[in-house]
Amino acid sequence: MAQAFTKAMARNIFYGGSLFFILLFLALTFDTSSALPELDNRANLTKTVALGKSLWEKNDCIGCHTLLGEGAYFAPELGNAYQRLGGKAGIIGFIQSRPKDGIPGRRSMPQFNFTDEQLNAIAEFLKYSSEINAAGWPPNVQG
């Protein structure tokens, strides 16, 4: 009972498959758009957080660190740095404690000589980042 594969069969498979994937795309789009308002934390976005993000980009922090899994894996993940370092004071203290020329023979974060306003902005940006629902990322406390 071998049948030949006809043009009509190919056309039906094409149209049926196309319809299936269009409906699947629409269903997933609807599901995503209905879930986004629950995940939205733009209410916490302030000018200080925006300044911290600007400093993050200007100083190429992502060139060494990851944030929510994106970036370089040279230095620790910073998605949970706010909790790991003990809040805003811990972040500011850690950044200020970096030696001027780094630690000889070791990779270490340089001293950027940020102002108090800039340190506060970076800490606020990392606090904001830590509040994003990242579905359990990073997987461990160390980052």
CATH topology of domain 41-143: Cytochrome Bc1 Complex; Chain D, domain 2 (1.10.760)
Contact by Cβ (8 Å): 80, 88: no
pLDDT at 118: 96
Q: State residue 133's pLDDT score.
A: 78
Contacts of 105 (CB under 8 A, 6+ apart): none
Residue with tokens 């902005």: 121
- Specify whether the CB–CB gap between 91 and 126 falls below 8 A: yes
Torsions phi, psi for 67 (to 5 deg)? -135, 115
For 38-69, what is each residue's pLDDT tens digit? 656 666 789 999 999 999 999 999 999 999 88
Q: Which amino acid is at 57?
A: E
Q: What is the pLDDT of residues 11-35, one digit of tens each?
A: 999 999 999 999 999 999 998 888 7
CA 17, 19, 22, 27 torsion-angle sign: negative
The sign one gets for the Cα dihedral 110, 90, 141, 49 is negative
Instruction: Give the separation between CA 15 and CA 17, rounded to whole angstroms.
Output: 6
Which tens digits make up the pLDDT trace of 91-102? Answer: 999 999 888 776
